[in-house]
A and B are shown apart, each in its own frame.
Chain A
Amino acid sequence: MLFTSPIFIMIFLPIVVLVYLLINNKFRNNWLLISSIVFYSWSGVQYMMLLLILVAVNYFLGLLTPTSKVKRTQKIILTISLVINFGTLAFFKYFNFFISNIENFVHIFNPSFTFDAPNIPLPIGISFFTFQIASYLLDVYWGKIKPQKNILVIALYMTLFPPFIAGPIIRYFDIESQILNRKLNSSLFAEGIERFCYGFAKKVLIANNVGAAAEAIINQPQNYSSPACWLGIICYALQIYFDFSGYSDMVIGMGKMFGFTFLENFNYPYISKSIREFWKRWHISLSSWFKDYLYIPLGGSRNGAFCTYRNLILVFLLTGFWHGANWNFVAWGLWHGVFLIIERVFSGLFSRIPSVLAHIYTILVILAGWVLFRAESLESGVIYLKYMFIPTLANWDAHLPLMDIEFIFYLFVGIALSAPIFPKVRDIIVNKCSATRFALAGSFANTTLRRLFALCMFFLSTLYMVSASFNPFIYFRF
């Protein structure tokens, strides 16, 4: 069940929120847990059962960890629990990839070799909840938090439906107190709705509209010119940003509706002036997870240049692999890792580069990275890069049918919203007003207008969402 589907917007969310508001505070966690289980069961009851088993296993392993006073035993328990969690992830997400690579390798020596591996479906959200529970277990092991004795709390933490499918990755450390004791007020609820509406609009209006052009060009680059291939990857960069950040906004918004405050996941990543800065602004919950649970435990940058570079490469190799079981994701992770090392090695040089050039450099690296990320395979990614960087004007006009007014409008809106222009303009106006006798009226107008605009966006997005499923023929072709 996607957040941008009619069934979620028109059935699931209204019911969950209405009941949540109507019931007593002490039942709200239970209601959220039930709702989350229903949400997850929508992809298949079998996956929900797997999830509940993992909840139970991790609950007991979490309890066992600190009871042992011997550090070695604690380590063994932690190792077992991490093997169970990451083993489950590896089985569902990477088994087919592993088998197909073995098959390719054996093919070198025996071309007729085939292995009919079972096609293992990927349970939704497994990458996210594995990382969430791993953070809980590690924090318990390190003594940062106490193990939770109430299994329902752990179950709610692991299954809470808003961040389930696409994050942000929420740490138990950050959310424990909110699960146990949170207060919902009308202001937070209104903020949540507003944030949800903007997230919905980002996904449905911008990501989907620019994404259609990206898909057409990237799927068949041979039919387009080099400039069109650049346009295709720019559209994809906007699509992935507004898709992902829109989803995060919806999650944060829903969180607020239920009284939670989740951490931000994006902070205008495309205004970055270095890849290092990009990773502080892009998918913040994932990069900070890797930093805190892998990079720093490996030694971070404390053990000399070689170890730092090794750690960076390892972290980004795994970051790439986390995004998908394919070599192009690994290449994408390494691509970013390599540029992070380059920026460290030539840090003096980079600090002297004018902002504009630094920004251009960063965008170029990011766009080339997106090519690898979006490609069906590493080979097709390299072919697309060739189309981009070896100029050809053959079929220079092939992309023109994609360029209707609606697409151009959303392309420019997308580019404009990639930078914090509007919040800055709004802040300037609000600050100007606050110095006058209209401060109160200005503040009220700002809030009211913003919320009205959010509702309009929600209305428009709903129209787009519903109409997307309607693409009729005059009559069927024969």
Chain B
Amino acid sequence: MLILAAPTLITVLKVKTRALYGAVVNEDRPIYTKRDIFNGKFQHDYELWYNQNFYSRTHIVRLFTQLRYTLFHKVVGTRVVIGAKNTLFETGYLRYADIQYTEEQLNLIKAVKNKCEQLGKRFFFIIPANKVLIYPERTPMRYVRLVEKILENSFHIRLAEKLETEGIPYFNSTPFLFFEKSNYNLFAITGVHWNLLAAALVLREISRQNPTLFKGNITIEYIVSSSKPFGSDADLFGITNLKYLPKTTYYAPVLKRYSGEEKEKIFLNGTSFDGQLVQVLSDTGLFAEIDEVEYTYVHRHYEEGKSISTNTDYNISYYELLNDKDIVIISSGPTGAILLPSLKRIERALDLMLSGHGTDRVQNKLGPEDADISIKPLKEQINAKGGEKLKITVKFTNNSNSIQASYNPYPVKVITYWTRADRELINNIREQHNIKGLILPKETVDVEINVRAPDAPGEYLLQISAAQELVMQYESYNKKLPVSVLVRVR
């Protein structure tokens, strides 16, 4: 009994242990309130917190993962599986390796390409390779059938065909690397991403096939090998929390540096697979500056003579990153994920450049003067049935001098709540409705509001206002708000 209670006793003494590797949602220690104790919320939240924070949990998890690996060739958690030759795979890439692209995504790629050309920028699209498609023979036995299906009719083949038809310059890494794998190890057995060598081979091939894309050629002088991982070669191994790395060799290229005087600037947008591309591109010496955005907010910056810096910022100005770039490279995810949000923001930034409007830099927190907006519903009266779902469109005009943005961490939202005809509040529920992208100064956009009409018959007012999440209610500074729509419920 004392042994069982030991973790708790030591937790009370606040002895800390080394944290486990991997991204998890951490539970906060709940704050005691009488109300929460009464309804059991405190106890529930405390239990969630305790499950993550008692002393020795990390030792137990590490011991368990080592034991499970030994007994069942399996690791803790459900996101990593072990294939042949101890090759680790992330299950997401095995299970969802065939995401469909949409016409909307293709149209956006085309639009971005055309706008880049109008601005004199060179555009290129890269389809990275999925580990499982390069090494299907290492797939865990029970996933073999799943992978066979993906191999038969894979996303990258269909996307490549479409890009070819549309005349969009692209490179499909999968077939290229599949044939290169006999010469080199292109994915570390312990990692989810392609290794630096694979990224270098792809970029070398791109520069060879598209001589006008980069000023100089990318050349690999020699390849170094090590028993220790390079970059993110062991990221998948990390989240297994196993103690010992499987024995393997890691590879990295040493590139011939370009020594010409005129150097270009490059912008990349894609997924975590871009990390290796940035590393290789910065090593070539071809570029004076590289800005890479992973998804929409991990930003890596490289300047000649400096090392790569990484920052996480929701308030990335695509306009500023793209404005002086000579080359724009977009990549999809290796499973087929085409990043719609980032493509939309790139298109928006290119539009701003073409219109000569200026930056899309978003102020993180707006001030009272930025609450100068107006909202105008298209219909001022609506008849509805009790509980009916209503779709109401309003014109949102930004009269302020700041950009109203829908991006985290402080998104601007349209707010609605219900009152009776005499403006008495029905309840305290305030519903939020997203605006799309950015609303520039003096710009008007349509915002769609989806609400459910009250159940009981009568006359109601749907009050419409705006707020910046965690910052301000516009009503507090803008006397024109809220505006209302009369809803007659039968």
Which residues of A come within 8 Å of B, CB atoms? Answer: 1, 5-7, 9-11, 13-15, 17-18, 41-47, 112, 114, 116, 397, 400-406, 409, 460, 462-464, 466-467, 469-476, 478
Contacts and interface: CB of A to CB of B under 8 A. Distances in A.
Given A7-B47, A11-B8, A474-B238, A469 B1 contact: no
Contacts of A462: 60
A contact face: mostly helix, strand, loop, or mixed: helix
B11 to A, nearest CB: 9
Interface string B400-430: 0000000000000000000000000000000
A42 B4 contact: no
Given A400-B142, A476-B23, A5 B236 contact: no
A478 B295 contact: yes
A302 B145 CA distance: 60
Interface of B: 1-2, 4-5, 7-8, 20-24, 37-40, 43, 46-47, 50-52, 54, 57, 60-61, 63-65, 67-68, 71-74, 76-79, 81, 90-91, 94-95, 140, 142-146, 192, 235-236, 238-239, 272, 295-297, 385-387, 455
B20 A470 contact: yes
Contact of A463 (B39, B64, B296): B64
Contacts of B386: 112, 114
Given A11-B50, A43-B43, A46-B39, 4 more contacts: A18-B1, A41-B43, A406-B72, A466-B64
A11 B5 contact: yes
Given A14-B5, A472-B79, A44 B43 contact: yes
A403 B145 CA distance: 13
A419 B241 CA distance: 37
Given A401-B146, A404-B142, A475-B23, A470 B47 contact: no
A416 to B, nearest CB: 18
A462 B40 CA distance: 25
Given A5-B47, A400-B142, A472-B22, A467 B39 contact: no
A46 to B, nearest CB: 5
Contact of A405 (B61, B73, B76): B73
A472 B20 CA distance: 9
A478 B297 contact: yes
A117 to B, nearest CB: 13
Given A15-B5, A112-B387, A401-B143, A475 B51 contact: no
B22 A466 contact: no
A114 B455 contact: yes
15 contacts: A5-B51, A7-B50, A11-B5, A14-B8, A46-B39, A112-B385, A400-B146, A401-B94, A401-B146, A466-B60, A467-B60, A471-B76, A473-B79, A474-B22, A476-B23
A113 B37 CA distance: 37
A409 B90 CA distance: 23
Contacts of B385: 112
A41 B51 CA distance: 19
Nearest to A5: B47
B280 to A, nearest CB: 21
Contacts, number: 144
Contact of A471 (B68, B74, B77, B81): B77
B43 A463 contact: no
Contacts of A9: 4
Nearest to B36: A44
Contacts of B60: 462-463, 466-467
Nearest to A124: B40
Given A42-B40, A404-B72, A466-B57, A474 B90 contact: yes
A416 B60 CA distance: 29
A453 to B, nearest CB: 16
A414 to B, nearest CB: 15
Q: Which 3 A-B pairs have the closest CB atoms?
A: A472-B22, A44-B40, A14-B5
Q: Which of B7, B192, B385 has the most CB of A within 10 A?
A: B7
B169 to A, nearest CB: 26
A41 B37 CA distance: 9
A1 B44 CA distance: 8
A194 to B, nearest CB: 15
Given A112-B386, A114-B455, A43 B4 contact: no
A114 B457 CA distance: 13
Given A14-B5, A43-B43, A474-B23, A409 B142 contact: no
Contacts of B91: 401
Contacts of A13: 1, 4
Nearest to B57: A466
A469 B52 contact: yes
Nearest to B5: A14
Contacts of B192: 474
Q: Which of B1, B81, B385 has the most CB of A within 10 A?
A: B1
A44 B8 contact: no
Contact of A401 (B1, B63, B142, B387): B142
B65 A14 contact: no
Q: Which of A6, A9, A18, A43 has the most CB of B within 10 A?
A: A6
B37 A45 contact: yes
A460 B143 CA distance: 28
Given A467-B60, A467-B65, A474-B236, A7 B51 contact: yes
A10 B77 contact: no
A261 B74 CA distance: 40
Contacts of B272: 475
Contacts of B73: 405
Nearest to A8: B47
A41 B38 CA distance: 8
A473 B22 contact: yes
Contact of A46 (B22, B38, B64, B239): B38
Given A405-B74, A406-B72, A474 B39 contact: no
B175 to A, nearest CB: 25
Contacts of A472: 20-24, 77, 79, 239
B63 A463 contact: yes
Given A43-B40, A470-B77, A472-B24, A406 B296 contact: no
A471 B37 contact: no
A105 B38 CA distance: 36
Contact of A403 (B23, B40, B142): B142
